[in-house]
Structure 1
Amino acid sequence: MFSFVAMIAIFAGLAVVAFLVVRPLFSSGDPQANVSDFPGPGTNEVLVVIPEGATGNEIGLLLKDQGVVATTEAFSHAYSANSAATSIQPGTYRLMQQMAAKDAVAALLDPDNRADVRVTIPEGYRSDQIYQRVADDLGISYDDAYAAAHDYAALGLDGPPNTNEGVIDPMEGWFYPSTYSVPPDGKATDLFKQMYDRTIAEPRRHRGRARGPAACPHARLDRHQGGRQRRGLGQGRARHGEPPRRGQRVRRQASGGLDVRVRVGTAAPR
């Protein structure tokens, strides 16, 4: 009887030892694995990109993957507790790793933490004004902005969208007015691609009222002329595929005696 009890005790002891030795082998080894939230304030700076339309859970996963928050659960709780959290905007943010979840939500709501470049195109801007605004905000020349706007391959086009004879700028009316952002290392072509895609994506009724093809002054001129072909090209550099000079006056004579004068390149109001 004694030997039987001793044997049970030995087996029980071996089971305990095995549990203590084997269990760590199957653990993640990550000291943060069981941490529900970091105390903050944070350590190393990281850039985090919040995509368009991201939900609170999706943002939490992004922050967890980059070590900004300890768990998605902690971020989801902090996100739900902050009534302004739903106004977090897409873009690139400078955040710290190992932040408290509530501090991460607050940081995403603080525009001072934005690392991207934001460019606002007001409604009613002509194409030359758009190029000047992009040039000013990205710190590039007007000609570089013009070239980026006419990089048809980058826009996903085979060629100019407007091939009517005498068109000054084939991209007039194809860049939708709104506020756009590009990462710190973003290019002007990335910005114009967003504007062009937004024009295509908008319902036709909005596109026609704002800056879509139907709003293009050349399209209106063609309609008023009953489809008759216009004669004459712009003077100087204001020709198809070549950027007009700022302040240059262009005279266009259409059939039927319609005289149209267009001033292009006036510096855009800031």
Structure 2
Amino acid sequence: MSTVALVCTLSFIGIAILLSKWQKLGLEKDILIGTVRSAAQLLLIGYVLQYVFHNNHPALIAVILLIMIGIASMNAAGRAKGLQGGRWRIAVTLSVTETLTMSLLLGLGIIPPVSQYIIPVSGITIGSSMVVCGLFFNQLKREADASRGEIETWLALGATARQAVQEVLKRSVRFSMIPTVDTMKTIGLVQLPGMMTGMIIAGTSPIEAVKYQLLIMFTLTSSAAVTSILLGLLSYRMLFTEDMRLRYLK
């Protein structure tokens, strides 16, 4: 894509700003800030990745992955307000999910052990898992609040914390996985995913692009399941005080 063509894509931002102004949505400032930030961040990471891909040093790859996990944990932790210790639990969950996923991909020889493959696939996996974490905590708090009477009844009957919130955890896990499962059902029919589209535009055979997209889709499904279930196991005690009373969540 030429620089002129790239600049012309700003017309889409202009349309969004005009519509926001017309409907008095008040999103003009946020759209402008988001445009500048996304451009700056992507250009910066482009130069960083060019350097990392050229050197392909394991330490550089590890640093990039740790930064990804750290930023994703801080972002997803915003959905766990009112629950102390959410950030480190998310960080542990993302780290385990990334380690398991990458171990399988590299161990089975699905992708080669080079930064050009490891970092992009890890970015997609961590980003998707971050969304799952946010959805899980949103639903967990709603479910715990809606089921307060049921949970307190179970506790009064002598149930453990895990037993009292078992159904709440199940519903929260299912909710957090809905986008991933729905995407699997409609991929190729309703949408052509970004990775596949980008490869086709770059000149790759559509069949080859489909293979890589299936790799990503299957990986994301597994990582979503691991993320939501592990986060549930690590987080359910956050709903209770030390003397086993259900917290009032904001």
Q: TM-score, normalised by structure 1?
A: 0.23
Higher relative contact order (CA 8 A, sep 6+): 2
- Name the structure where helix makes up a greater proportion of residues: 2
